[in-house]
Amino acid sequence: MTDKTVSIDIKKDLFGANEEAAAITADIFKKHGIRSVDIMGSVGTGKTELIEGLCEILSKKYRILMLAGDLATTIDADRVASHGVDTVQINTRTACHLDARMIQLALKDVDLSKYQLVFIENVGNLICPAGYSLGVEKKIVVVSITEGPYMIRKHPLTIKRSDMVVINKIDLAEVLSFDVDALVSDIREVDERLPVFKVSAKTGIGLTELVDALGL
Ligand SMILES: Nc1nc2c(ncn2[C@@H]2O[C@H](COP(=O)(O)OP(=O)(O)OP(=O)(O)O)[C@@H](O)[C@H]2O)c(=O)[nH]1
Ligand SMILES: [Mg+2]
């Protein structure tokens, strides 16, 4: 390296800046007394369906805002808005995850005094979202019966960085001969104590237990 070479620790700069932005959002949520949950998971695991189910249960108790992370569409925001919930769309275009700066931008013109609970749906992806703090209280990862049996073993980092795991589409386990106990064992291999919930966002199975566990 010559004395004209500038060495940049990209990882430190990128992640450091993200952590700072996330801490600011966390303070803002705290100041407004807002509870907040980031919902991560692969494409199609049922993140939106879960948010819709939770909104049905919780919208009498909380004024809810949903931030929808999606590369290109407003489909998920529209689905959640159909439950009478306010939404903000974040189209990431090429990015495979939300980051704290995107959340700051999305909240810039929002009157947060109107809300008590924020759900963030992250971009459908079981890898990248886990690396980025958003300033939320809880990070949930949604896995489901339709992704096959190996998703936990292949993606342990996302599991490690989550506060709880939701196994969704439990209504399909029997018909697909899916071994739910083996999946739970895989989660236990990664983290012995991580709370695990078996739900069907579609039928409502397990949603009240999840709400209780979130303290909502
Ligand atoms: N049988 C069954 N189907 C479900 C359940 N949850 C979601 N689905 C279906 O699975 C499909 C995908 O659900 P979404 O909620 O769109 O999944 P998502 O994780 O938000 O998907 P992306 O936003 O595209 O990453 C839809 O057809 C849902 O109706 C469930 O508990 N049981
Ligand atoms: Mg969705």
Q: H/E element holding 54?
A: helix 47-58
- Enumerate residues 6+ apart whose C-beta is below 8 A from 106: 67, 88, 90
d(CA 184, CA 202): 21
- By most ligand atoms within 8 Å of CB, the mutation choice from 42, 174, 198, 202 for ligand 1 is 202
pLDDT of residue 89: 94
What are the CA-CA distances from residue 173 to residues 28, 42, 155, 200, 207 (Å)?
41, 18, 21, 10, 17
| Residue 16, pLDDT score | 86
CA within 13 Å, CB half, 26: 14
Residue 178: which of 144, 155, 202 has the closest Cα?
Answer: 144
- CA atoms of 72 and 69, how far apart (whole Å): 9
pLDDT in tens, the chain (216 residues): 556 666 656 556 667 899 999 999 999 999 999 999 999 999 999 999 999 999 999 999 999 999 999 999 999 999 999 999 999 999 999 999 999 999 999 999 999 999 999 999 999 999 999 999 999 999 999 999 999 999 999 999 999 999 999 999 999 999 999 999 999 999 999 999 999 999 999 999 999 999 999 999
Q: Which residues line ligand 1 (CB under 6 A)?
A: 41, 43-49, 76, 124, 168-169, 171-172, 200-202
Structure tokens belonging to residue 7: 């060495």
Distances (CA, A) of 132 to 24, 41, 123, 159, 164: 14, 14, 12, 14, 16
pLDDT value at residue 15? 77
Burial class (CB in 10 A: 0-12, 13-18, 19+), 5: exposed
Ligand 1 atom closest to 76 (CA): 23
CA 122, CA 38: separation in Å to the nearest integer? 7
User: Is CATH 1.10.3720.10 correct for 34-213?
Assistant: no
Which positions ≥6 away from 161 have C-beta within 8 Å? Answer: 130, 131, 139
For the entire predicted model, the pTM comes to 0.93
Give the pLDDT confidence score for residue 6 in this predicted structure: 65
d(CA 173, CA 179): 7
Ligand nearest to the CA of 45: 1
Contacts with 48 (C-beta within 8 Å, 6 or more apart), sequence order: 68, 76, 79, 80, 121
